[in-house]
A and B are shown apart, each in its own frame.
Chain A
Amino acid sequence: MTVVSGAFLLFLLITIGIYYACPVQYRWQVLLAASLVFYVLAGKWQFLPCVLLTAFVVWSGALRLSNLDDELKTKLKEPGVDKQRKKDLRATYKSLRKRTLIGVLVLCIGALCVTKFSGVVISALEGIASIYSQGVHVDPTILLMPLGISYYTFSTVGYLLDVYWHRYPCEQSYPRFLLYTIYFPHILQGPISRYNRLGASLKLDAHFDERNLVHGGERIIWGFFKKLVIADRLNLMVTTVYNGEPHAGSIFLVVMVLDALMIYMDFSGYMEIVCGASQMLGVELEENFNHPFFSRSVAEFWRRWHMTLGGWFKDYVYYPVSVSSWMKKLNRKNAQRFSKRVTRVISVAIPCLITWMLTGLWHGTGPNYVCWGIYYGVLITISVAFQEEFEQLDEHLGINVESRSWKLFQMLRTFCIFVGGRVLTSPGNLANTAMVFRNIFFNLQPWQWFDDSIWTYGLTRDDGHILFISLLVVLVVSIMQERMSVRDEIDRRGTLFKWALIYIGIIVVIVFGVYGPGYDAAKFIYMQY
């Protein structure tokens, strides 16, 4: 079962019915049962023990950290404990806490690495065996890749680190913690929720609110529109062209842009559906997108695209590296050796590159994802290192940085940089990426933009018209959302207007959604991570 299916809508309706029919104090248990059922229906039942075990290991690890804190406090208060003894106790418990943390991290991150890298390791072993003429083939189906492992591992590890850093108290109840881990709207593709937000929201007694039901439903229809009408239509051309075969450079250029739009519509469409579903249950999920294509710089883009993943890497990788004792030591040494400017650049570059390399590896294990990480790490480091020069250049050229045309140029520039990053990974591997660029530079054939060739790559002229109008609708709605709450505005226009829009939305999705042969709604791009 995927979230873009009638089965999911039926599952959601049944869950909502039971959820609100139950007394308030039992509703979280309904959500837990529904989430367990959803996880089994969405994948294989064999995946379930992996999630249950991860949740248990993290929950018990956090509980142990909390118990160690309590033990220390009790021992410090015991009579006759002198200053030296207090110091020793603190050191002992600090070490015990650290060992507990590392143990749990090794188990959880280790399980994630095994599932992510086992395919690469097996391919390498098969390659080595073939050199010695030993035909070894490992059936890839033996590899267990639990659905959503990247997402639930990050959510739970974030919780463990927060407890370790005393940001909030640990959860005492395992079923409650399991609900946070496996809550069905966020388990497969995120958002990577923080325990202090989602956990708290799940603990609130959700009372029936018609507004939540209607607004949630509106978001679901909007998500279906983005996914089925736009993303899956764009997917027809993108998969036709990115098939490893050479095409005219002009076609590759079009597909590079369409691919960038497709992944946005695909992923943000998914988020609209799950956030809407969660809102119908009275539980607020964190937002993952804030109109990223309106960003004026790469750094801003990554604060508006997949926000919960960016936030996770910022809080649990970038900051810990930046403020680590070894980084501070290095900065002090560099300050003695180099100028203030060089020291600053190094202090930014190292955490940036580490963070982006890991972000790349989170998305995929091939060399193309490593290049993708380096690409963004270097770009962001350059933007920080040469910020003064860029500002001076703007001044020297007499550019009004607050003018509309300059802002638009910056948005287009950021979009092009994003397209450049996508082309490192979307064609499948670096050889295909090189082939794309070879054709762009040496086999452009620009006339294919003007004759009918473009309509021979999976899309018809009618598809083109539907895409143009649909993307225009998304653009107008996005501009409106930047200035106001569109849903409140719809409410203000009256019941008739609101329901007319809802019915139009449903009809548009049914009529213009892509359901043709070869269509597979299960393939959300971000689910593979």
Chain B
Amino acid sequence: MDRIIEILSSIKSGVDFANEDQIVSGGILDSIDITELITALEEEFDIEIGMEYMENENFDSVEAIWDMVQELQEA
């Protein structure tokens, strides 16, 4: 999860991502940031994030992102 926080911080600095639960629905990351995040996650964890995962709840908190990454790694 630390790596996810690092990736998020490299996209947008000055946000306490560890304690944030509305990263996308709260407007912290916009659509351009999200595509950057997806590219970084895919490279870092060797996964492919399909359109079925492109929903706010999968990106709203570090835990949600981590759950999605684990699910994709297990698939």
Contact = CB atoms under 8 A, between A and B. Distances in A.
A and B bind: yes
Interface in A116-169: 161, 165-167
Contact of A347 (B27, B34, B35, B50): B35
A167 B35 contact: no
B73 interface: no
B36 A323 contact: no
Interface stretch (B1-9, B15-23, B51-59, B63-71): B51-59
Nearest to A324: B51
A315 B54 contact: yes
Interface string B16-42: 000000000001001110111011001
Contact of B52 (A167, A318, A328, A348): A167
Contact of B27 (A161, A303, A344): A303
A348 B32 contact: yes
Contact of B31 (A161, A314, A328, A331): A314
Contacts of A328: 39, 42
A384 B36 CA distance: 12
Interface residues of B, number: 16
Interface in A293-344: 299, 303, 314-315, 318-320, 322-323, 328, 331, 344
Contacts of B31: 314, 318-319, 322
B32 A319 contact: no
A292 interface: no
Contacts of B38: 322-323
B39 A167 contact: no
Contacts of B39: 328, 331, 347
A373 interface: no
A351 interface: yes
Contact of A384 (B27, B32, B51): B32
A167 B56 CA distance: 12
B51 A319 contact: yes
A504 B49 CA distance: 55
Chief secondary structure at chain B's binding surface: helix
A303 B30 CA distance: 10
A347 B49 CA distance: 17
B26 to A, nearest CB: 12
B36 A344 contact: yes
Nearest to B55: A167
Contacts of A318: 31
Given A303-B27, A331-B39, A320 B51 contact: yes
A323 B49 contact: yes
Contacts of B49: 323
Contact of B54 (A323, A347, A384): A323
Contacts of B51: 161, 165, 319-320, 323
Nearest to A381: B32
A227 B62 CA distance: 44
A384 B30 CA distance: 11
Among B32, B42, B50, chain A packs the most CB atoms within 10 A around the CB of B32
A315 B38 CA distance: 14
Contacts of B54: 165, 315, 319, 323
Among A166, A319, A323, A384, chain B packs the most CB atoms within 10 A around the CB of A323
A455 to B, nearest CB: 43
Among B30, B34, B39, B42, chain A packs the most CB atoms within 10 A around the CB of B39
A328 B43 CA distance: 11
A351 B35 contact: yes
A323 B35 contact: yes
Contacts of B34: 319
A327 to B, nearest CB: 9
Nearest to B30: A299
A319 to B, nearest CB: 5
Nearest to B43: A332
Contacts of A344: 36
Nearest to A315: B54
A384 B33 CA distance: 10
B37 to A, nearest CB: 11
Nearest to A316: B51
Contacts of A315: 54
Contacts of A165: 50-52, 54
B46 to A, nearest CB: 13
Nearest to A380: B32
Contacts of A352: 32
Contacts of B50: 165, 323
21 contacts: A165-B54, A167-B55, A315-B54, A318-B31, A319-B35, A319-B51, A319-B54, A322-B35, A322-B38, A323-B38, A323-B50, A328-B39, A328-B42, A331-B39, A347-B35, A347-B36, A347-B39, A348-B32, A348-B35, A351-B35, A352-B32
Interface of A: 161, 165-167, 299, 303, 314-315, 318-320, 322-323, 328, 331, 344, 347-348, 351-352, 384
Nearest first, the 10 closest Cβ-Cβ pairs linking A and B are A322-B35, A165-B52, A165-B51, A166-B52, A319-B54, A314-B31, A384-B32, A348-B32, A323-B38, A318-B31
